Chain A
Amino acid sequence: MIGDTTLIAPETGCAPARQPEVLRAGVIRERGQREVFCGLTGIIWLHRKMQDAFFLVVGSRTCAHLLQSAAGVMIFAEPRFATAIIEERDLAGMADCQDELDRIVDRLLTRRPEIRTLFLVGSCPSEVIKLDLSKAAQRLDVKFSPSTRILNYSGSGIETTFTEGEDACLTAIVPEMPTAAATDAANLLVVGALPDIVEDQFGRLFAELGIANVSYLPARRMADLPPVGPNTRFLLAQPFLTETAGALQRRGATRLDALFPFGAEGTTDWLRAAADAFGVDPAHFNRVVAPGRERAKRAITHCRERLEGKTITFLPDSQLELPLARFLATELGMVPVEVGTPYLNRELNARELALLPAGTRLSEGQDVDLQLDRVRLDRPDLTVCGLGLANPLEAEGLSTKWAIELVFSPIHGFEQAGDLAELFARPLRRRDVLRV
């Protein structure tokens, strides 16, 4: 049965008992070369989720090349994203950028009349030349209203790191959400793009719990955006939604504090936050959650023997690092050595931080060469890093798990807990089976 006790952080070695202050003081803050994606990359999964939206990046050939490299083979299925590449004549003032943009959007929407929302996505070049995309969005919005809404956000590298692109996009959507009156019944909002199958699983659990009014941001179709108001409670499904959370709070919604829904315990805690907020009877909660929770525990036991006691280092990538390190430490017995994150939001991660084993080194930001020096010194059993570093580290004899897969694969919730553990176990198993 499930107890109501809070989780106890595992202690590693002879480390002193956990003290949040020590953790706080122990964060390494670095500035230097960052080996990370920019926020434009978020488009790759956001456009799959939002089925009637199109993402038009206004940027350079580099931006188009990045999207193409990140999208892999997906680029060929007539994707709902593209780049308006700024050319010499745009910069030299020979062409008015705003006129050019109008021309391109015209052409695009004629070709794809089924598009209901068009995002103009800012990039480094468009930010640096101060091309006013919000003005362009307003102007085009009037022109194409009501059939197509035109919104704008920035996915530039100078402002956003990888998953922060989703944060910026959702922040731009929040003002579009209908207003719920103060007299409306309380509703639950799950925030963060999740694979459909995961969203459906959560949907069933909420229904069984008796929480009727549940919706998701982003919605699969922009026409179905859920209302938000003072009776809205929201759960973040992803840890990188700092700005979105702020925007929702400014519209009166209340954030439910919880662990992020990774693993049996994370998912239980996350669901419990909603159950508590909606007055679900604890006994009923336990009855509903028990089967999934037990299944999740069973599914991860297969990996536990392989992962228990193994050391792991996360290089900064997506902000998922903290919750994932917590999951690996508390449920699989792994020993986090260094957990790097591009940005550390202490408020959203407070509960995650409290569960990290004592002695875990935290780092925010990056100076990649210095960080790699630490990895080489630590020689963790597994290093979670980007694709630019993975093969070079493997060549140095370090096992790696490439981080971007954690953003593209279904990993949230009970039913994915085993898959999530397997993502980390597989490179180690492979290392053991290979005889070449």
Chain B
Amino acid sequence: MQLAVWTYEGPPHVGAMRVATAMNGVHYVLHAPQGDTYADLLFTMIERRGKRPPVTYTTFQARDLGTDTASIFQNAVRDAYERFQPKALLVGASCTAELIQDDPAGLAEALNLPCPVVPLELPSYQRKENWGASETFYRIVRQLVDKDIKPAAREGRRPSVNLLGPCALGFRHRDDVAEVRKLLDSLGIDVNCVAPLDAAPDDIRTLGRADFNIVLYPEIGTEAARWLEQVLGQASIRTVPIGVAATQEFIEEVSALAGVDPSSALADANSRLPWWSRSVDSTYLTGKRVFIFGDATHAIAAARIAHEELGFEICGLGCYNREFAREMRTAAKMYNIEPLITDDHLLVEDAILSAAPELVLGTQMERHIAKRFGIPCAVISSPVHVQDFPARHSPQMGFEGANVIFDTWIHPLVMGLEEHLLTMFRDDFEFSDAAGPSHLHSKAHATAPEAAAKPEHHADLQSDLHVGDLALAEPLSDVALSWSAEAEKELRKIPFFVRGKARRNTEAFATAQGRTVIDLVTLYDAKAHYAR
């Protein structure tokens, strides 16, 4: 057994859901107990999808065990087929159903459905989310691809490629695809199919039309690309275009394979990172110590950008997906550091503390670790929360991605001019080190060490902090208002972030009513008065 509070990855069937949700015309019947539907909200809330994930759960309960879970499964498959009329059906088991050993593949096959059924074997007690997504995509490709479809003769047409790996719930996948499409178009290359994101089973069937494949996210696309290489002879590009240099290499590799001229794409006038990084205000970035953690692909790409394009010093590098440990070790060697390959967030926290970085690049988890210890941080990889599925265009890939990365990573740092001022006016109260950069929440910064030491008392610390704020609030009128001890105590039970407002409202109400003493009744009369 492994003790865990936070997991970087969900179980493998969540990976399968990501593939099913990404695609069109695919439905996934998941043999799972009541409750596993929680995973739906990852898609509807975090990614803000306006449709339910195309997943039917059997939601068996205790009373079903040992009797008819198999027929529950078959009924669910039959009903799902009739209702959703998918062009391909995925069937599989979640961790609990894996234990009861119904056979989704056999049970679904026995139904003789008029569409392809792709059975998924996802060992929940060994593997995790990324593996589940990769395996699912591979199984779909393997089963649906029409091996007889080959690219048309090259004369008189533009070269064509498939983009493999973009998925639902992927960090910036939507915008990366748009960016890479634009880049390929500028090279005169067509995209035959993006998969699994927005691909239908028919698109998968005709993957063979493309001249070669581009694996955008190795965690999800590599297995399928490897199979396509073996069976259809399609070459694949594995260079991930995150960062200016990587994008240039990507352009050159793609151009060579497609037989097109890369020069116009390489000379993209909208690539601003190189000049931004050379401009004198960036001088202060030199040698900033950065700690990098995430999925292997994003972490390795981030390390290269940090090192070569921003002039940082890498003081820590690691990933949580063991499947890519070899790639991670190779990368870490270039920076002479020992890579951290773990899915235990406590080890990551220890490593961050001992490395003492000035900037942390990581996942949602590292963001919180960094926040607690008052270290600037930017998010570079899944898992991420809702704010990292932004409305605006914000790719990581291509030259625009590099622009986005420059802004995102530099923003939390103290920039040159500000750092200069901090040094000059070191003893000035508004510029002291403790005040931190003006665009960060300096309060959180100041309390971080205490909060870290006694996390259970975090809320108390914050409330103490706000007493000062409230004391400074201007009185609303000349009439002296006094709070009874009981009312004051009650007020303290209100969350600190609305407490100030509650106090002001109550005082305004009391003043309007001509009351001079605020007791519990006044407090709650005011609450009722302002209720909307």
Q: Which residues of A contact B (CB under 8 A)?
A: 32-41, 58, 60-62, 64-66, 68-70, 73, 75-79, 81-88, 90-91, 95, 97, 100-101, 103-104, 107-108, 124-125, 127-129, 156-159, 161, 196-197, 200, 204, 291-292, 295-296, 298-300, 302-303, 369, 386-392, 394-395, 414-415, 418-419, 421-422, 425
Q: Are B528 and A157 neighbours in the complex by a CB distance under 8 Å?
A: no
Residue of A41, A64, A157, A298 near B7 (CB, 8 A) is A64
B4–A82 touching, CB < 8 Å: yes
- How distant is the Cα of A392 from the Cα of B529 in the complex, in angstroms? 35
Of the A-B pairs whose beta carbons lie under 8 Å apart in the complex, a sample of 19, sorted by A's number, is A38-B34, A58-B1, A64-B5, A75-B6, A87-B125, A87-B126, A128-B100, A157-B36, A158-B33, A158-B96, A200-B493, A296-B528, A369-B79, A387-B44, A388-B38, A388-B40, A391-B50, A392-B51, A415-B527
Most buried by A among B36, B39, B60, B365: B36
**Distance of A295 Cα from B65 Cα, bound (Å):** 51
Is A81 within 8 A of B5, CB to CB?
Answer: yes
Is B354 located at the chain interface by the 8 A CB criterion? no
Write out the residue numbers on chain A whose beta carbons fall within 8 Å of the beta carbon of B493: 196-197, 200
Query: In the complex, A159→B64 CA distance in Å?
Result: 11
Q: Find out whether the CB atom of A394 lies under 8 angstroms from the CB atom of B50.
A: yes
Given contacts A36-B35, A68-B5, 18 further A-B contacts (CB under 8 A): A65-B11, A66-B35, A69-B38, A69-B41, A69-B42, A76-B372, A83-B5, A84-B2, A86-B125, A91-B99, A108-B3, A156-B33, A156-B62, A197-B493, A296-B528, A303-B531, A389-B40, A422-B531
Interface centre among A157, A392, A418 (most CB of B within 10 A): A157
Q: Closest B residue to A127 by CB, please name it.
A: B62
- Residues from chain A with a CB closer than 8 A to the CB of B521 are 291
CB distance from A10 to the nearest CB of B (A): 22
Given contacts A82-B4, A125-B95, A391-B48, contact A33 B58 (CB under 8 A): yes
Name the B residues within 8 Å of A34 (CB-CB): 34, 37, 57, 59
Q: Which residues of A contact B61 (CB under 8 A)?
A: 157-159
Bound: A68/B363 CA distance, A:
14
Tell me which residues from 424 to 470 in chain B have a Cβ below 8 Å from any Cβ of chain A.
Answer: 455-456, 458
Closest partner residue, chain A, to B371 (CB atom): A76
Q: Which residues of B contact A108 (CB under 8 A)?
A: 3
Query: In the complex, A203→B59 CA distance in Å?
Result: 41
| Nearest CB in chain A: distance from B280 CB, A | 38
Q: Bound complex: CA of A32 vs CA of B123, how far in Å?
A: 26
| Contact count band on B | 35 or more
Q: Which single member of B60, B95, B494 contacts A158 (CB below 8 Å)?
A: B60
Shortest C-beta distance, B223 to chain A (Å), equals: 21
B51 & A395 in contact (Cβ 8 Å cutoff): yes
Q: Is the CB of A302 within 8 A of B531?
A: yes
Beta-carbon contact of A158 and B62 below 8 Å = yes
Inter-chain CA distance A196–B83, complex, in Å, is: 47
Convert B1-21 into 0s and 1s, putting 1 for each residue whose CB lies closer than 8 angstroms to a CB of A: 111111101110110000000
CB <8 Å contact, B35 and A61: no
Answer whether A37 and B38 are a contact pair too, CB < 8 Å, given A79-B5, A129-B99, A295-B525: yes
Q: Determine which residue in B14, B60, B95, B524 has the highest number of CB atoms from chain A within 10 A of its CB, and name it.
A: B95
Task: Tell me the minimal C-beta distance from A109 to chain B in angstroms.
Answer: 12
Are the CB atoms of A62 and B36 closer together than 8 Å?
yes
Which residue in B48, B59, B490, B528 is a CB contact (below 8 Å) of A299? Answer: B528
Contact of A33 among B56, B126, B532 (CB under 8 A): B56
Centre residue among B33, B51, B493 by max chain A CB count within 10 A: B33
A425: chain B residues at CB < 8 Å are 532
B100 to chain A, nearest CB (A): 6
Contact B531 A299 (CB under 8 A): yes
Select A85's contact among B1, B35, B49, B456, beta carbons within 8 Å: B1
